[in-house]
Chain A
């Protein structure tokens, strides 16, 4: 019963993973392997790589990622309420609750914009 319910998802997973693994394996097994200095360079869209890839990144990237995570969680929490909203008996309660939730979210957004949280420099 479990397998039947999730068969499409499992199939999708299997095909995706299988495709990736198969490609890597096939090219490793059958592809010709002739190394040269240019080929061993990391691929950087044609530009020559400069320095080490492992160097500290500016914290501003981190700030954006963290703010993204917070809004991500908020949206994820709103989803389940939206699924029952249409058939819910007390629509006003649900609406008020979601409105409050959104209002707090918007206050957070306005605050972040005002404080320059999303500015780059």
Chain B
């Protein structure tokens, strides 16, 4: 663990994450989130987890952020321009909850410093991971595919519109018949 790099990186992550939740424009939030993801990749690099750092950038900052931006386009941003809840109660309870969580984990972190895990034991590069996937993690490796298959079925179910195909067929029929008449 490279402490010199860790502190600036984690400060950056905290600032960017705060920006994500405080920004009123959803596109700004998404871009700040990309920044936070890249900074997290930096932390992974400090831990010698090169492969994870690469995945963090490829999958999170790349593919998942595309999904986020798609979501931003599917909602009508004009209508609910303000994403910050104005309800006093929910604001207060949110601050209370996150504040208490913060202090809880702050004290935990202080305890943690006494026995920091030895990062040298873990192989974070692609080869180390590959050997784990072939030996002790062979079952989880295959189960991940099942989870992904479930997600594929979910994509089909959720984006399935029973009326859509019928409607588009009717529309094309109307266009065709109209063309014939003309």
Contact = CB atoms under 8 A, between A and B. Distances in A.
A57 B172 CA distance: 21
B176 interface: no
> Chain A interface secondary structure, helix, strand, loop or mixed?
helix
Interface residues of A, number: 46
B38 to A, nearest CB: 10
A93 B130 CA distance: 13
Contact of B146 (A2, A73, A104, A121): A104
Interface in B68-88: 70-71, 73-78
B31 interface: no
Nearest to A57: B73
A36 interface: no
Interface string A26-70: 000000000000000000000000001011110111110111111
B152 A74 contact: no
A62 B77 contact: no
B134 A60 contact: no
A88 to B, nearest CB: 6
B177 to A, nearest CB: 18
B67 A69 contact: yes
B130 A77 contact: no
B59 A72 contact: yes
A112 interface: yes
A2 B129 CA distance: 21
Contacts of B134: 81, 84, 88, 90, 93-94, 97
Which residue, B67, B73, B128, has most C-beta atoms of chain A within 10 A? B73
Contacts, number: 124
A8 interface: no
A18 interface: no
Contacts of A62: 67, 70-71, 74, 159
Given A2-B46, A56-B73, A80-B130, A67 B155 contact: yes
Nearest to A97: B138
B180 interface: no
B126 to A, nearest CB: 4
A100 interface: yes
Which residue, B2, B58, B148, has most C-beta atoms of chain A within 10 A? B148
Contacts of B151: 66, 70
A19 interface: no
A112 B152 contact: yes
Contact of B67 (A65, A76, A117): A65
B127 interface: yes
Contacts of A80: 51, 126-130, 133
B148 A73 contact: yes
Closest 5 CB pairs of A and B: A80-B130, A84-B130, A80-B129, A104-B145, A63-B159
